[in-house]
Amino acid sequence: MVEKIWDNMPWKIDTEKFKRFDQKYTMFSRTGWDPEIQTMAKKTVESVIRNIKKGNRSTLLDYALMSAGWWVAMKSAPYQMDHGDGGLLSWKSDISPVFTIASALWNENSELKREREKFQKSIEKNPDILSRTVKKVAKYFGADLVGIAQFDIRWVYSHRILNPRYHLGEEFSEDPLDLPEGIKYCIVIGIEEDYYMQETADGGVSMGDVGFGYSKMAIIAGSLAEFLRALGFTAIPSGNDLAISIPYAISAGLGEFSRMGLLITRKYGPRVRLAKVFTNAPLVPDRPIKFGVYEFCLKCKKCAEKCPSQAIPYGDPEWEGDTQSNIKGVYKWYVNVEKCFEYWCRSGNSACGVCVRVCPYNKPVDKASYYIHAFFREYIAPIVGGEIGKKLDDVMGYGKRKSSSSWWGFDYREIVSKTKED
């Protein structure tokens, strides 16, 4: 396998333009205070009802799966969408001391303190052991990818917000964001999205897959943080809250940035959801990897061509984007997230995902042909380039949308129409 390690972090930063991003200006956060975005968001209900009545691209069955997928994320961890430190993403253990030695009651136990101190002293000399252990535990909890990055304050939000969109009955609020002192590393967790469900994007069962990805993010990050806290370390679990995930994932060696603004991993392409755990535990950081994504994206442009909102740029990377929801001073491709979000609301197909579906790096991992695709990505694509690579992908028929009936195993519309006739 060809792999080149970057000598330095794989991004360029204009120090005059760059500053830590305020979470208030992310698209999801703007639904809590920006009248223009709130007007967009209100279109979602009528769009969903229209889709259900037509039963075309997204049916009642698909939306039921979406609701189920989001259940854990919204019931127990809405804080991963904005403020952090609540529900499954609490910064401290707040469950019964009967079941966790990370609770405040156990933390006062002198004998436990001594055992933790002994462990911590020994592991300071063997951070590689704890790193392997952390990755093993994360994968046991359900992570498909795990990497460790050095803590970098630049990617932590300057402020965090509480959005009534996710916290019913609350008022919108914003506060400066300060993580506990002593944080040294960020453990990055990658969770695979299902290839066959994402074939139905935009809409269909892909929406349920995205929602369940967020639920798994909360479960895995929260559980891993509790594991570290039980060992006596500080551990702060995070989903979309607290910090920008992709730079940390790149630093942790999980993949490269792309034209569509998403992380592209070697194994799953862009089909991943990302969660994080910030900690002071002694670990060994991984290194960024380079396997040709940037060079491929320069020429491919398939995601830009297929984007239904035309939110993905066609040109070269730039230093800033078109909206206040784009960070400034980082040399990269900037997606017009306002156009993207407006399409979500207007279509009623949340999370869209067309760019993920059509990306040439998106291939199934449960078939023998995957190894052929992996060989192509690792060895052939860097030679033929993105333009020819995209054409070959099109010739092979990849990226075409499938109906959600292909996943359910029956045609929802046919079943409903027969019932009406009866």
Q: What is the pLDDT of residues 375-388, one digit of tens each?
A: 777 777 777 777 88
Q: Which position has the token pair 């989903």?
A: 239
The helix/strand/coil state of 6 is coil
Question: What DSSP designation does 170 have?
Answer: P
| Per-position b or e across 278-308, b if 16+ CB within 10 A of its CB | bbbbbbebbebbebbbbebbbebbbbbebbe
CA distance 35 to 10: 37
Token code pair at residue 24: 């208030």
Q: Residue 299: pLDDT above 70? A: yes
CA distance 98 to 95: 8
Q: Residue 228: pLDDT above 90? A: yes
Give me the pLDDT at residue 386, please.
77
C-alpha distance from residue 349 to each of 210, 305, 357, 416 (Å): 11, 19, 14, 21
| pLDDT (tens digit per residue) in 12-44 | 898 889 999 999 999 999 999 999 999 999 999
CA distance 39 to 42: 5
For the segment 210-227, the average pLDDT, to the nearest whole number, is 97
Radius of gyration of the chain from Cα atoms?
Answer: 22
Token code pair at residue 223: 């559980």
Total H helices, total E strands in the chain: 17, 12
Query: Which range among 163-167, 341-345, 406-410, 418-422 shows the weakest confidence by mean pLDDT?
Result: 418-422
CB of 221 closer than 8 Å to CB of 237: yes
From 341, 258, 261, select the one nearest 29 (Cα to Cα): 341
In the chain, the largest separation of any two C-alpha atoms, in whole Å, equals 73
Q: What percent of the chain has pLDDT over 90?
A: 78
| pLDDT (tens digit per residue) in 72-84 | 999 999 999 999 9
Give me the pLDDT at residue 313, please.
97
CA distance 322 to 336: 6
Q: Residue 181: pLDDT above 70? A: yes
Domain residue extents for the chain = 4-416
**For the chain, what percentages of helix, strand and coil (3-state, to nearest 5) are there?**
45, 15, 40
Q: Residue 422: pLDDT above 70? A: no
- Residue 89 pLDDT class (50, 70, 90 cuts): very high
Token code pair at residue 121: 């002293």
- Residue 419 pLDDT class (50, 70, 90 cuts): low
Give me the pLDDT at residue 420, please.
53
CB of 302 closer than 8 Å to CB of 391: no
| pLDDT (tens digit per residue) in 308-324 | 999 999 999 999 999 99
CA distance 143 to 145: 6
Give the CA-trace dihedral at 364, 370, 374, 377, to 10 degrees: -60
The helix/strand/coil state of 277 is strand
Sign of CA dihedral 196, 202, 207, 211: positive
For the segment 3-17, the average pLDDT, to the nearest whole number, is 70
